[in-house]
Structure 1
């Protein structure tokens, strides 16, 4: 799946937002896994849970992916039904790929998904994630 990281100005701001979600969930006694709330229940849920990821678009670029671990249908009396997509807390940098604007989330073909940036490249000199992505985008790595 692919989704715009609405409101995120950078990989760092998105990472900070995710961390705040994790902290709020822990404080509420919930699992530490970040979640995303959406109205639409993915029809391909079982396929997505079995190794699927959400690819996050930040400022018109696919920058990160996050493994989807659960899709939960939520029904509260007197409220519209909605869905919670639960993620693994790990954000995995991917090779930056430009993406045109779109609304909501979309299915992403495996062939269109950018590959992960290798662990070796990510850990090179403990380079901050935003700098590693910028270097990759510039063709330096």
Structure 2
């Protein structure tokens, strides 16, 4: 059974910002000859690894709203220079926009059940043309 991960995206103001950052990192990696993987490193390794790798995504909470996701390709255990074990979440570099879903701030990451996850904007048959700020405002008013 598939399970997703929910994580705060700190340092960006919008899904557009996150998309630009991903593209920038991909360009940097290509120029330096690194593998074109998109990796986010976090402290804790998920115990439900197999469920995540069964089609799970990392859903990004940006400024209090779930706005996008990235399919997870792999989870790797790594040890930092400080000797602390960490988890590398390897994701598709493509950002998939989702319905706007309010979420409170939290530390680290959380498991996110499939039935709780917002739908992709493409599945909704409209709305992907609306500016993100407008979609966010409509969601805050309970209209989206």
TM-score normalised by the chain length of structure 2: 0.81
Q: Distance in 1 between matches of 2:78 and 2:84?
A: 9
Report deviation, 1:37. Answer: 0.6
Q: Distance in 2 between matches of 1:137 and 1:8?
A: 18
C-alpha contact 1:122 1:132 (8 A) present in aligned 2: no
Q: Distance in 2 between matches of 1:87 and 1:97?
A: 21
Question: Is 1:5 paired with 2:9?
Answer: yes
Q: Distance in 2 between matches of 1:40 and 1:19?
A: 26
Q: Which runs of 5+ in 2 are unaligned?
A: none
Aligned with 2:43 (options 30, 39, 43): 39
In the TM superposition, 1:21-32 aligns within 5 A as 21-32=25-36
Q: Which runs of 5+ in 1 are unaligned?
A: none
Aligned with 1:19 (options 7, 23, 28): 23
Q: Distance in 2 between matches of 1:78 and 1:106?
A: 25
| Corresponding residue SS for 1:118 | helix
Instruction: Tell me which protein shows more strand as a share of its residues.
Output: 2
Q: After superposition, what is the alpha-carbon deviation per residue over 1:19-60, rounded to whole angstroms, capped at 9, x for unaligned?
A: 122222223323222110111111111211110000001110
Q: Distance in 1 between matches of 2:51 and 2:32?
A: 30
Q: Distance in 1 between matches of 2:55 and 2:133?
A: 24
Alpha carbons of structure 1 residues 138 and 68: separation in structure 2 relative to 1, 3 Å? same
Report deviation, 1:64. Answer: 0.2
**Residue in structure 1 matched with residue 68 of structure 2 by the alignment:** 64
Aligned residues: 136
